[in-house]
Structure 1
Amino acid sequence: MKILLLEDDIQFQESVCEYLQMLGYDVDCASDGQKACDLIASNFYHLFILDIKVPKISGHEVIKYIKNLNLNTPIMITTSLVDIDDMAIGYELGCNEYLKKPFELAELKFRVAELMRKYYSVDDKNVIKLNGGFEFNTSKRVLQKDGALIDLSAKETDLVECLVSHLNMYVSMDELREFVWGDKEIDGADIRMHVLKIRQKTSNEFITSKRRVGYKING
């Protein structure tokens, strides 16, 4: 599970980042709002943890940017601001959680785990529950149903992992070529064949498709 952390206090940023990584999360860090927006534009995240009073672009403006991209990714605000108006603005813009500084790292752990559970049905932080009763373990990179392992090839596993990392979002053919095949020469028929084989091993509804849009797996 991937998290973007926006925090301009470098020492505190490093502390929070290291703690989240110790918990098993993949974390990108930004020290100003512009850097955060740049990262959001080029990466997929499962959670945004945003400070408000940061250089260049405020955390509130970053939330507006996220919403303009039509992302449904959960957002947690971490700030020392105590004015109720600032909290109200954050919630009105679409944040899902508020954590007032200073906070204990253990509290952050539980807040993050709860958001992951709520939005991605994640009980074990490495296990993502998918439609049809399937589960994907992001640490072991295995797909299971009712405890039974689904026998996927290496490339089929890469493809499922890519779609799971973009859960509930369509991934285009070009994006699949980049993420799964590294922009190697592979035509659409080959990608469709890989999808067909995965469906044969799971169900016809496991991977959904939309013409000229791409493929997705729903949680």
Structure 2
Amino acid sequence: MKILLLEDDFEYRVSIKEYLQSLGYEVDEASDGVIACDKIAKNSYHLLILDIKVPEISGHEVMRYARSLNLQTPIMIMTSLTDIKDLTIGYELGCNEYLKKPFNLAELKFRVNELMRKYYSQDDKNIIKIASNFSYDTVLKQLKNGDEVVNLSQKEINLIEFLLSRVGAFSSIEEIKYEIWEDKDIDDAGVRVHIRNIRHKTSDEFIISSRGLGYKINV
């Protein structure tokens, strides 16, 4: 399972990253809020661990950005801030857990494991089975190849969800442009690049194309 860790203190960040890796987690790191937002836009994570007082933009703004993408990824705030106003802002933005600095690594382990257990227990009602051993979780917004999560950008997730909403029917490039990009800032070639990228991360048969009809996912 993959975690994004936002922490500006280098030694603190390295220590936490190495500890989480020792527990078997894959950890991606960010030293400021802008880097964190960029990684969230381009990757899929099972958990976001965010410090609040970081350079560029705050952890609160990173949370706001993540939720604006409609991500259901659990978020744990790791901070020395204890003012009730800061706590309230965090929960209003969708924080799922608080960890007050300084903390014991055993407490970090417990809270991370509990969040993973709570949010990633299997529920077949949320799973759409796709050809060639792929499956899509509509709650977690994750595509898997067997048990392995496929790393997708937010636009790729949106495109897959749109095609899945029209199972059995082809969608034209014009329909895709309108639904995913609202017909802005994208041309036909740009849509084809996104489809090609998804096929590269999955298989050539994951998205089927038909001349004159468009694209559909092979469910």
TM bucket, shorter chain: 0.5 to 0.7
State the partner residue of 1:80. 80
Matched, 1:61 2:93: no
Indicate which of 114, 137, 143 corresponds to 1:163. Answer: 143
Moved over 3 A (4+): 159-162, 173-176, 211-216
State the partner residue of 1:131. 124
Identify if the C-alpha distance between structure 1 residues 23 and 68 changes in structure 2 by more than 3 Å, giving closer, same or farther: same
Give the structure-1-normalised TM-score: 0.65
Q: Which amino acid aligns with 1:49?
A: I
What is the count of residue pairs matched by the alignment?
A: 163
State the partner residue of 2:206. 191
State the partner residue of 1:91. 91
State the partner residue of 1:26. 26
Distance, in Å, in 2 between the alignment partners of 1:70 and 1:33 is: 18
State the partner residue of 1:43. 43
Contact 1:75/1:96 (<8 A) preserved: yes
Compute the displacement of 1:75 (Å).
0.4
SS at match of 1:56: coil
Q: Which amino acid aligns with 1:115?
A: L
Distance, in Å, in 2 between the alignment partners of 1:62 and 1:82 is: 19
Contact 2:6/2:31 (<8 A) preserved: yes
Compute the displacement of 1:104 (Å).
0.8
Distance, in Å, in 1 between the alignment partners of 2:98 and 2:50 is: 10
Contact 1:170/1:213 (<8 A) preserved: no
Report the aligned-residue RMSD: 3.0
Give the structure-2-normalised TM-score: 0.65
Compute the displacement of 1:214 (Å).
5.0
CA-to-aligned-CA distance 1:35-55 (integer Å, 9 cap, x gap): 000100100011100000000
CA-to-aligned-CA distance 1:125-178 (integer Å, 9 cap, x gap): xxxx3517x9xxxxxxxxxxxxxxxxxxxx945x459723269x6773545313
Identify if the C-alpha distance between structure 1 residues 4 and 214 changes in structure 2 by more than 3 Å, giving closer, same or farther: farther
Q: Structure 1 vs Structure 2: percent identity of aligned residues?
A: 57
Distance, in Å, in 1 between the alignment partners of 2:25 and 2:41 is: 20
Contact 1:170/1:215 (<8 A) preserved: no
Distance, in Å, in 2 between the alignment partners of 1:80 and 1:96 is: 17
SS at match of 1:35: helix
Compute the displacement of 1:180 (Å).
2.3
Q: Which amino acid aligns with 2:65?
A: Y
SS at match of 1:112: helix
Matched, 1:179 2:201: yes
Contact 1:50/1:76 (<8 A) preserved: yes
Identify if the C-alpha distance between structure 1 residues 166 and 215 changes in structure 2 by more than 3 Å, giving closer, same or farther: farther
Distance, in Å, in 2 between the alignment partners of 1:214 and 1:6 is: 35
Q: Which amino acid aligns with 1:131?
A: D
- Could you list the runs of 5+ residues in structure 2 that have no partner in the other structure? 137-141, 152-156, 161-194, 209-213
Q: Which amino acid aligns with 1:163?
A: L
Contact 2:5/2:29 (<8 A) preserved: yes
Contact 2:5/2:49 (<8 A) preserved: yes
Q: Which amino acid aligns with 2:124?
A: N
